[in-house]
Amino acid sequence: MGAPVAIVMGSQSDWPTMQCAADVLDALGVSSDARIVSAHRTPDRLHQFGTGAAGEGFRVIIAGAGGAAHLPGMIAALTHLPVLGVPVRSRALSGMDSLLSIVQMPAGVPVGTLAIGEAGATNAGLMAASILALADDALAARLTDWRAAQTARVAERPED
Ligand code: RP5
């Protein structure tokens, strides 16, 4: 069976951010397939990916882009799969442009928008795992363990 999660991004330059989603999914034992799909530079690839994603076996799509970040919304327009949008931090406007481009979807075409940058990518991975865990008890247990380990790493007091 192929990877249940697609991680798509507008550019190679988005990968250091989007890799956070792949890393947390990997830690949870969920395989993902990362691809570069640009809404503006590769529109045909975008259409092919969006219309074919469900048929490829993907269950959740994580889409990250920066600047005029139309990728998550356009993918959501082409598939019924859940789309999680990650606003990548941009050079000019620090990702505020990305955030507003992704979050302000018209009613009827949802994108679940996460935080700007690496935190958003990590949380997109966790959210994708949570969605898959609804139908996968073993994954739900791994997710619970991951959260418990995170809690255990928080010290009671700060160190000098
Ligand atoms: C967007 O433009 C990409 O998602 C990226 O965040 C931004 C800049 O892309 P590059 O010029 O670095 O390829 O399409």
pLDDT for residue 81: 98
CATH of 5-152, one of 3.10.105.10, 3.60.15.10, 3.40.710.10, 3.40.50.1970: 3.40.50.1970
- ipTM comes to 0.97
CA distances from 148 to 15, 90, 96, 109, 142 (A): 28, 33, 32, 34, 10
User: What is d(CA 31, CA 85) in angstroms, rounded to the nearest whole number?
Assistant: 19
Any ligand 1 atom below 6 A from CB of 93: no
Any ligand 1 atom below 6 A from CB of 4: no
11 is in an annotated binding site: yes
136 is in an annotated binding site: no
pLDDT for residue 131: 98
pLDDT for residue 1: 74
In tens digits, the chain (160 residues) has pLDDT values of 799 999 999 999 999 999 999 999 999 999 999 999 999 999 999 999 999 999 999 999 999 999 999 999 999 999 999 999 999 999 999 999 999 999 999 999 999 999 999 999 999 999 999 999 999 999 999 999 999 999 999 999 999 9
Domain residue extents for the chain: 5-152
pLDDT for residue 49: 98
The one-letter amino acid code at 136 reads D
96-117 burial, b for 16+ CB within 10 Å, e for fewer? ebbbebbbebeeeeebbbbebb
What ligand 1 atom has the least distance to the C-alpha of 41?
14
How many angstroms separate the alpha carbon of residue 125 from the centre of ligand 1?
21
pTM: 0.97
What ligand 1 atom has the least distance to the C-alpha of 66?
6
pLDDT for residue 53: 98
